[in-house]
Structure 1
């Protein structure tokens, strides 16, 4: 954050040339996108998620995304670079989520996918982004509470643990479909 503040102050005082300014913005936004876990800077994200408990997963999936997203929204950025990030998040998250049995990795790749939609909504309006973020947090909270309640970390454990609780199973399916983009 100290480096971010220094670069921002240098850009505001117009101490740097425009070419240097855009290069520093690219580096700064790349660092923020790495913190978000956005593709192609995402390689650390699923592996870290795999080692966390469900409470820490929830924090990493939601709370840790707010500050970098606000900083990205408040910076002037190259629209082509952001479109590249959005497209790579969509493609990488879709391809990498195939054949996953770990619920934490599935949630990580889902988060990478939703980062692309959050970036798209942030390009349109802050209020639309905020509504999207709140819905995303609410759905993630519901899903992670079900995972924590059923003590499940893999798909086979989840199906075995939820066989006897039909209401919880229905709630999980509705939330998964909502997280996937289908309306509740």
Structure 2
């Protein structure tokens, strides 16, 4: 991949997948949604006319997504979890807001269910676009740093990061409180 297209801080993974039939490929297409197919190789020389290998590139693994993935894989190892919290604090977020919102007093879109409040937050525009497909005309976007997001959150809000993505994560109120304490420690120094 040329440096022109490689984004610093992103994780790129090349994957090879084998499908028995084209139907298998189409059934698995939801998995390839955020990928770019590099090549398709049909293996007619082996008599498998309907078989193919696909090589594709998975994108959108920024530092926060990668840290979350590592924390999840580590089964809650505190070092990996704290790294994910630090990446959250350093990250920039895209938040859907109401279209009719005053720019100085934006009204974010909260989801409420069974007395719980959820805030959809995204690190990549492609994740937001997938989620907001049906309401795209009714929203605007607000961009905030992790620190500013933490400052503006209520006490009982759960942050839903990258809804619909392969690394979806909910940050519950106790995790938000933990990240706020990290911010306070960082700014005291």
Structure number with greater CO (CA < 8 Å, separation at least 6) is: 1
Which of the two has higher C-alpha Rg? 2
Higher share of residues assigned strand: 2
Q: Structure 1 length as normaliser, TM-score? A: 0.25
Q: Structure 2 length as normaliser, TM-score? A: 0.25
